[in-house]
């Protein structure tokens, strides 16, 4: 299912085959939390900007419009008119970051909806059932995401529980995939490594979950308070213990530099809201560094956002026009910038894949890590 086509150092150029299409890795998944990319980007737009995998959020869709409704309407891919792969998260992260009044037990978590405060219970089985209703290509395991730094003993106990939850996720997913009215009977479950910033807990947990022989493994609980250096250190420690022949997904990360550094450490899948969220606020990524489109200096600038970019925005509009749209409060500003930033990320991954294939990833990393972070 996962085929490594080429390696360059620890960086891997792979192909992940699913019933909804083949994913070229390393890949950046484009986030559409509520079954839509924020910024009025349609699924037609998504295809045009080279998105391979869309990512939606289980917790949000469970609340609105409800996973039962989405199942009735044929699953999330049909609902949002996206015929390529979708990854759904488990809801775990949102339960721990968005919801109120949490109570964690062995069985699962009870919490309050962030919309109307009503009491909800979600455990491994509930998360799998919701994701099965959504019928995504890849479902994520239900885990506890602990903020960094956290006390050693708490993280250790949490890792144990997250492991037991993963066993239950695996069993429930197998059961759901065997039911006759399940939309995607080939739904894939990715496990999630936790362990905070503790090397021994991270490694121990990864060794444990690796034995469950899942189709993919994520590294969770990073980019939640620790420094970039700590994050890279954890990757250096834990990735060697992840199965070689399974894709590795670093959840919720990150800047272009973070992505390049993580690919260099053997990561294959990425997602981050930063690309689209920054765009909606006028913060633009380019091959030459980052730009703030609110800046007065762009008010008469007739260049595209990035003269070297082939995205629909850069092929058609100027910096001066886009700055005007932001200043005038026109929604189109957000859409044009989201299209650009997502294209930039998708294109960055394509350039990374090319560099690995041609054994020049080290050079690519050297040339780009600092440059892409530069403020223009």
Please identify every residue annotated as catalytic: 89, 271
Please, is 103 exposed, middle or buried when counting C-beta atoms within 10 Å of its C-beta (0-12, 13-18, 19+)? exposed
Residue 291, strand partner residues? 284
* Binding string, residues 40-59; x marks residues near a copy of itself by CB under 8 A: xxxxx---------------
183 binds a copy of itself (CB under 8 A): no
69 binds a copy of itself (CB under 8 A): yes
Contact 155, 162 (CB under 8 A): no
Q: Minimum distance from CB of 267 to a copy of itself (Å)?
A: 30
3-state helix, strand, coil in the chain (%, to 5): 45, 20, 40
Which of 258/276 has CB closer to a copy of itself?
Answer: 276
Among 5, 72, 107, 358, binds a copy of itself (CB under 8 A): 72
Among 37, 135, 291, 352, binds a copy of itself (CB under 8 A): 37
Which of 270/317 has CB closer to a copy of itself?
Answer: 317
Separation between Cα atoms, residue 37 and residue 171, nearest integer Å = 32
Q: If you search the block for the tokens 């947990």, which residue do you land on?
A: 205
**Residue 91 dihedral angles phi and psi, to the nearest 5°:** 95, -20
Distances (CA, A) of 371 to 61, 104, 257, 287, 366: 38, 43, 9, 8, 9
Among 334, 348, 356, 372, binds a copy of itself (CB under 8 A): 334
Q: Minimum distance from CB of 34 to a copy of itself (Å)?
A: 4
Separation between Cα atoms, residue 350 and residue 358, nearest integer Å = 12
Q: Minimum distance from CB of 79 to a copy of itself (Å)?
A: 6
The footprint of a copy of itself on this chain (CB under 8 A) covers a number of residues equal to: 40
Hey, which residues between 299 and 318 contact a copy of itself (CB under 8 A)?
299-300, 302, 312, 316-318
Q: If you search the block for the tokens 């998944």, which residue do you land on?
A: 29
Among 79, 93, 165, 285, binds a copy of itself (CB under 8 A): 79
Among 4, 22, 24, 36, binds a copy of itself (CB under 8 A): 36
319 binds a copy of itself (CB under 8 A): no
Among 178, 308, 328, 375, binds a copy of itself (CB under 8 A): 328
Question: What is the residue-wise DSSP string for 299-315?
Answer: TT--S-S-TT--SHHHH
The one segment of 84-92, 96-104, 323-331, 368-376 that binds a copy of itself by CB under 8 A: 323-331
H or E stretch including 365? helix 361-368
Question: Does residue 238 sit in helix, strand or coil?
Answer: helix
What the block records as the tokens of 119 is 């009491």
The residues that touch a copy of itself, with contacts defined as CB under 8 A, are 34-44, 60, 64-65, 69, 72-74, 79-81, 299-300, 302, 312, 316-318, 320-321, 324-325, 327-328, 330-332, 334-336
């Amino acid at each position: 299912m996962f085929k490594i086509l080429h390696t360059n150092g620890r960086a891997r150029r792979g192909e992940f085959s699913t019933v909804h299409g083949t994913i070229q890795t390393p890949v950046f998944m484009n986030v559409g939390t509520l079954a839509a990319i924020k910024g009025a980007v349609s699924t037609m737009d998504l295809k045009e900007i080279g998105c391979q995998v869309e990512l939606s959020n289980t917790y949000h869709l469970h609340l609105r419009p409800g996973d039962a409704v989405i199942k009735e309407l044929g699953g999330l891919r049909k609902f949002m008119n996206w015929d390529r792969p979708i990854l759904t998260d488990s809801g775990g992260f949102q339960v721990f970051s968005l919801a109120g009044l949490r109570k964690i037990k062995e069985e699962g978590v009870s919490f309050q909806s962030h919309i109307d405060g009503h009491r909800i219970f979600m455990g491994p089985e509930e998360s799998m059932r919701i994701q099965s209703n959504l019928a995504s290509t890849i479902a994520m395991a239900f885990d506890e995401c602990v903020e960094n730094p956290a006390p050693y003993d708490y993280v250790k106990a949490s890792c144990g529980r997250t492991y037991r939850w993963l066993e239950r996720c695996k069993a429930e997913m197998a059961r759901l995939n065997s039911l006759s009215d399940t939309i995607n009977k080939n739904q894939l479950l990715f496990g999630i490594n936790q362990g905070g910033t503790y090397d021994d807990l991270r490694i121990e947990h990864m060794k444990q979950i690796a034995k469950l022989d899942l189709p993919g493994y994520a590294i969770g609980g990073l980019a939640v308070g620790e420094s970039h250096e700590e994050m890279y250190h954890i990757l250096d420690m834990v990735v060697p213990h992840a199965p070689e022949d399974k894709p590795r997904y670093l959840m919720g990360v990150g800047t272009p530099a973070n992505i390049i550094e993580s690919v260099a450490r053997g990561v294959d899948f990425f997602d981050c809201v930063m690309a689209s969220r920054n765009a909606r606020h006028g913060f633009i990524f380019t091959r030459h560094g980052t730009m703030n489109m609110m800046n007065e200096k762009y008010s008469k600038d007739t260049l595209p956002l990035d003269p070297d970019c082939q995205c629909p925005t850069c092929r058609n509009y100027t910096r001066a026009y886009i700055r005007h749209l932001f200043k005038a409060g026109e929604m189109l500003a957000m859409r044009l910038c989201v299209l650009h930033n997502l294209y930039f990320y998708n294109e960055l991954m394509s350039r990374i894949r090319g560099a690995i294939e041609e054994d020049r990833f080290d050079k690519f990393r050297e040339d780009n890590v600092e440059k892409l972070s530069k403020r223009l």
